[in-house]
Chains A and B, each alone.
Chain A
Amino acid sequence: MTPGPGRRLIPAYLVTGGRSTPSGPALDRLAVLLRTDAELPPGAGTEQRRLCGLLDPGALTVVECAAHLELPVSATVFLATDLVASGHLRARPPIPRAGEIDRSLVERLLVGLRSLH
């Protein structure tokens, strides 16, 4: 799939301020991000504002935010991690975490898929 003639990707270093590691544990691409009530400070960056604005109406996973903002997943993880640390976002790890798929979960998935027929 080819993206349309939209915005150009923003170099990741502009989002991360040149850092190579985020300010907290790395978020999974399926971590769910939610906006808190905390107001962004006047000096907040454009990308911080875009991410918070996107999440104002509802929750999305990291990878969905990356797609909507046209940012690399790694840069979105940086942004989100900082905004979680500053209290502007909440992050919920995906359930199950990686490697925790069990039988009951797959059985529920199968019941659901069969009902979609």
Chain B
Amino acid sequence: MDSVPSTDRGGIGYLPSAAETLMKLVVTGPFGVGKTTLIRTLSEIETLHTEEAMTQAGEGLDDTAGLPEKTTTTVAVDFGRLTVQDDLVLYMFGTPGQERFLPLWEDIARGALGALVMVDTRRLEDSFAVMDMVEEQGLPYAVAVNRFPDAPAHPDEVLRKHLDLDPATPLVQCDARERRGSIDALIALAEHALTRLPAPQEAS
């Protein structure tokens, strides 16, 4: 079948020739919130990563402490791919939400459908800065609460209040290890992105 990516000797996962339209979205949030897990759950190829160089002043970078005048660090960006229709492929890029990764973030977010901001209920405040950054970028976003087994469950309304969410911003609770809920999070984001696009134009 054409729609199934060819399985090849190295397990590379080449693009089917029908895949003409490539879209992307950003999966973001604090470290350890489950970005890669969600991407792995949804991706039809083995999750890949690139090492991206970050060049900036070393100030405030704890991972370069002790290195004099260190100005370059690298950050791993995980990504995966999901064929949504035969000719339509969605790429998901897991991008750290820290302000210091802003240049990288902007590069990856350019042309993206939107962002899925992931949240851990045990440390909601870790996601505040990420949400601020996404809002500053003007990118449509939805919040995906990753339901860790040992994390306390809260009703949507309580989480929305604590996250100070705009009523229009979708919030989805899911388990990033499960496909159905993770797809629901993507659907919520896509529906929200649609409301942000100009209304259909009259024939002119």
Contacts and interface: CB of A to CB of B under 8 A. Distances in A.
State yes or no: do A and B come from one complex: yes
Interface of A: 1-3, 9, 12, 28-30, 32, 54, 57-61, 63-64, 66-68, 70, 72-74, 94-103, 105-117
Contacts of A58: 6, 8, 12, 14-15
A103 B48 CA distance: 29
Nearest to B48: A67
A113 B183 contact: yes
Contacts of A66: 50
Given A61-B22, A106-B197, A108-B84, 7 more contacts: A29-B107, A67-B48, A101-B23, A101-B111, A112-B85, A113-B84, A113-B183
A77 B157 CA distance: 45
B111 A109 contact: no
Given A1-B49, A58-B8, A99 B14 contact: no
Contacts of B8: 57-58
Contacts of B61: none
29 contacts: A1-B78, A32-B15, A57-B14, A58-B6, A58-B14, A58-B15, A63-B50, A64-B45, A64-B48, A67-B49, A67-B79, A72-B53, A98-B110, A100-B111, A101-B23, A101-B111, A101-B193, A102-B197, A103-B194, A106-B113, A106-B194, A108-B85, A109-B190, A110-B187, A110-B191, A113-B190, A114-B187, A115-B85, A116-B183
B93 to A, nearest CB: 8
Interface of B, secondary structure class, is mixed
Given A63-B50, A103-B194, A105-B23, A1 B36 contact: yes
Contact of B23 (A28, A109, A114): A109
Contacts of A59: 14-15, 17
B200 A60 contact: no
**Of residues B84, B91, B187, which shows the largest number of chain A Cβ atoms within 10 Å of its Cβ?**
B84
